[in-house]
Amino acid sequence: MVRVPQQLFDAYLFDLDGTIYLGDQVLPGATRLIAALRHYGRPVRFLSNNPTRDPAQYAAKLAGLGISVRPDEIVNTVVTTVSWLKAQHPDAVVFPIAEAPLIRALTEAGIRISDRPEEIDIVIASYDRGFDYRKLQIAFDAIWFHRRAFLVQTNPDRFCPYPGGRGQPDAAAITAAIEASTQTTCRHSFGKPDPLMMETVLATLPPLSPHQVVMVGDRVHTDLQLAKSTGVCSAVVLTGEATAGEVDALSPTSAPDFVLDRIDRLIPPGLWGEFGWSAC
C-alpha cells in the first residue's frame, strides 16, 4: 500500500491540518521532514482551506510546534479570496459570513464590507462559528429579495476534522443553507481543489514543470484532486481524513502517485542515512 518517492522534488506543497499537524499536535516525522527539505534547499509552501487564521497566525502556530515557517510560505483561503476580489471585483461591496482573519484581510485590502442587503454585490460564505439566522437573512435578502448579489465561498469543505475522529461543520454547510433558501448556486470557490489555489502558490515559486512539484495532503477530494487537476505530482498521507481503503478504491487515473503512512517518507529511503534516521 505504501508507495514512496525515490528522488527529491524541486518544490513541496503541503496541506496543514491532518498532514503536518492534527489539532495542536505535530504529526510524526513532520518536523524532521521540513528540516531535511530546508537542508536540501527545496522550497516548501503550505496550503490550507481554513480561513480562521491568516498566514502570520499559521506561521506562529507552526513555530509553536517546532517548525519555522515564514508567512509568505503560507497560502490559505484568506489569501486566495482577497486576491480574487482585488483582481476581479475591486469595487464590489461584500458581505463576509466569516471570522475575524478574513474580515481583517478584506478591510486591509480596501475592500468595502457591508451588512445592508440593498448595497451588497457579493456574499462570501466561509467557515464561521458565529453563523446565525441574522447573517442568513442578510444573505437571503441581498441575493433573493434585491436580486443584486451573487454567492461565493472560501472553501468547499463539508467539515473540518478534529482529533479523536470528531469534526466541525465547515464553509460548505453555510453555502448549502444560502443555496437552499435562495435557490441560487455558488459561483466560485477559492480553496482546494480549485486551480486558483495552485496558481496562487506556484506564482510564489521559480518557474517549474508540474512533474517537479509534489502536492501532499490527507484529503482525496481536495488535496489529491487539486494535484490531479493541475498536473503536479501527488502524495496522500494516511494521518488525517483519507484511509488506506479509500485510497485503494480509487481508479488508476484518480490514484495518487505516492501513499505515505507518515509524512517523512517523502525523503527517499536512500537519503535517510545522511540524517541518521532509522527505517521506523
For 42-67, give the secondary structure using H, E and C: CCEEEEECCCCCCHHHHHHHHHHCCC
> DSSP H helical segments within 89-230, as ranges?
100-108, 133-140, 171-182, 195-202, 225-230
Burial 167-202 (b: 16+ CB within 10 A, else e): eebbbbbbbebbbeebebebebbbbbbbebbbebbb
Q: Which amino acid is at 88?
A: Q
**Gap between the Cα atoms of 48 and 190, Å rounded:** 11
> Would you give the DSSP letter of residue 90?
T
The amino acid occupying position 128 is D
Q: Is 183 left (phi over 0), alpha (psi -120 to 50) or beta?
A: left
- Can you give the pLDDT of all 280 residues of the chain as single tens digits? 788 999 999 999 999 989 999 888 999 999 999 999 999 999 999 999 999 999 999 999 999 999 999 999 999 999 999 999 999 999 999 999 999 999 999 999 999 999 999 999 999 999 999 999 999 999 999 999 999 999 999 999 888 777 677 788 999 999 999 999 999 999 999 999 999 999 999 999 999 999 999 999 999 989 999 999 999 999 999 998 889 899 989 999 999 999 999 999 999 999 998 988 986 5
Q: End-to-end CA distance of the chain: give it in Å, rounded.
A: 16
DSSP H helices in 65-99 = 77-88
With b for 16 or more beta-carbon neighbours within 10 A and e for fewer, the 75-98 pattern comes to bbbbbbbbbbbeeeeeeebbbbbb
Q: Residue 279 carries which side chain, given as an amino acid letter?
A: A
Which residues, other chains included, contact 23 with Cβ-Cβ below 8 Å and sequence gap of 6+? 17, 162, 163
Distance CA(244)–CA(14), nearest Å, equals: 19
Residue 25, C-alpha cell as written in the block: 499536535
Instruction: List alpha helices for the chain, DSSP H.
Output: 30-39, 55-64, 77-88, 100-108, 133-140, 171-182, 195-202, 225-230, 244-248
Please give the pLDDT value at position 279: 65
Identify the bridge partners of residue 45 per DSSP, sorted by sequence position.
13
Identify the structural domains of the chain with CATH numbers, from first to last: 11-49+192-275 (3.40.50.1000), 78-189 (3.40.50.1000)
Nearest Cα neighbor of 197 from 96, 90, 84, 87 is: 84
> What number of other Cβ atoms are within 10 A of residue 43's Cβ?
17
